[in-house]
Structures are given as structure tokens and as C-alpha cells.
Amino acid sequence: MQMFKKYSVLICIVVSVILMVIATSVYPGGSLLDKNSEGFNWSKNFISNLFLEKAINGFENKSRVWAIIGMAFHSVGYGVFFINTSKKIPLKHTEKVLKLIGTANILFNFLIATPLHDSMITISSTLSLLGLFYIIVSILKTKLHFLKFYSIICMLIFYYTLFLYGWGDWGLLAIMQKVSLIGSMSLVLGIEYFTKSEDFKQIKTGGQQLTLTNNK
């Protein structure tokens, strides 16, 4: 049980990726750029295509059940990650926010398999991005230099992906969606397994020193 608890985030993400790959392998076909295309094309299809009741080409979407279960594992993994990370950061507000986001992610996970699954996926993804933002702000105040650099790169990729969505460049967006997702998962695993409470202690110490200085 201790081993499972320690590697629960990794297990959930790996299982999620495996299930999503299976989902792509049974996707009938069709994309926004070509409704008659066959199968799932990683450079043309969006992950959201896997959740449709019917594939874009009109055939029954056999990938849906695999994708929903995969997304459920993804949500649980991220939820546990936020709860675990909240225990490392010695800031009460950040701790409360991360615990709330982690718990909410796990709760919304159970609604993904319902007719509300589209809304739940959107809410879960939004909460995850908010939680990552809080964590990245905390990382920037530490001496974790590589994670500082990598987290900034991941955020830039995410904002560029949002820009493509607003711009309507669906071709490049389909590619950047996967790049952004890979960046997010690798960042989560990096923070989960390569940081500890001691790395964030200076945040609290620095805040106390700043308060003392202002009082003087």
C-alpha cells in the first residue's frame, strides 16, 4: 500500500496515457480538417474527438469509453498530485487552494462518465491549470532552478496553445494540444517526485523576514 500511495500519481498518469492510446487506435475517423479521414491522426485530430458519441465521420465512436476511463485516471492522478503538493508548500492560502482543487478534481472525475462529461472535462482542466499556476508561482520563489525554467516553458507553450485557439489555426492547434499535454504531465511528475517540503521552506522564511523588515 505504501508503494502504491507513493507512486499513485505516476500510476494514474501512465494508465491514463495507455487508455488514451487505445482510444486513438479504435477511433473510426474524421477530423475538422477532413471529415472522411480514417482513424485518429495525431497531427489533425483533437483529444476531444475521442469523447464524442459518434465520430466526426458519422460512425459509432468506439473510442469514447476508453477515453472517458482514461480521463478519469488523469483527473484522479492530478487530484492526488495537488493534494500532495499542498502539503509541501508552507503557505496557508496556497495549501487551501491546492487541496480544494485536488479534491474537486477527484469529485468531478466521477461525473465524467455522465451526460455532463464535456462540462466536467472542461472544469477539471481549468482547475488543473489554476492549480499548476499556484504551484509554479511558488516554485519561482525557490532554488529549484531547472523546474523554474521548465515550468516557464510549459506555461509559454500553454498560452501559445490558447493563442492558436483564439486565432483559429486548427491545424497547428491540434499538434500543440498534444505538446501542451505532454509538458503538463511531465511537469506534474517532476514536481511530484523531484521536490520535497524542504525546497519550499525558504518561501515562508522569506515572507517572515520581509514582514520583520517592514515592521522596523
Packing angle, helices 64-86 and 8-26, rounded to 10: 160
What's the rounded mean pLDDT across residues 199-205?
Answer: 79
Domain boundaries defined on the chain: 2-210
Question: What pLDDT does residue 205 have?
Answer: 52
Residue 189, all three cell numbers: 511528475
CA pair distance 31, 77, nearest whole angstrom:
29
pLDDT at residue 184 is higher than 80: yes
pLDDT at residue 210 is higher than 60: no
Higher pLDDT, 28 or 125: 28
Question: What pLDDT does residue 15 have?
Answer: 97
Work out the pLDDT band at 80, boundaries 50, 70, 90.
very high
Question: What pLDDT does residue 128 have?
Answer: 84
Q: How many CA atoms lie within 13 A of 183 on its CB side?
A: 22
Question: What pLDDT does residue 133 have?
Answer: 92
- Write out pLDDT tens, residues 127-162: 888 999 999 999 999 999 999 999 999 989 988 988
When mean pLDDT is compared over 14-23, 86-95, 156-165, 199-208, the highest value belongs to: 14-23
- Write out pLDDT tens, residues 81-104: 999 999 999 999 999 999 999 998
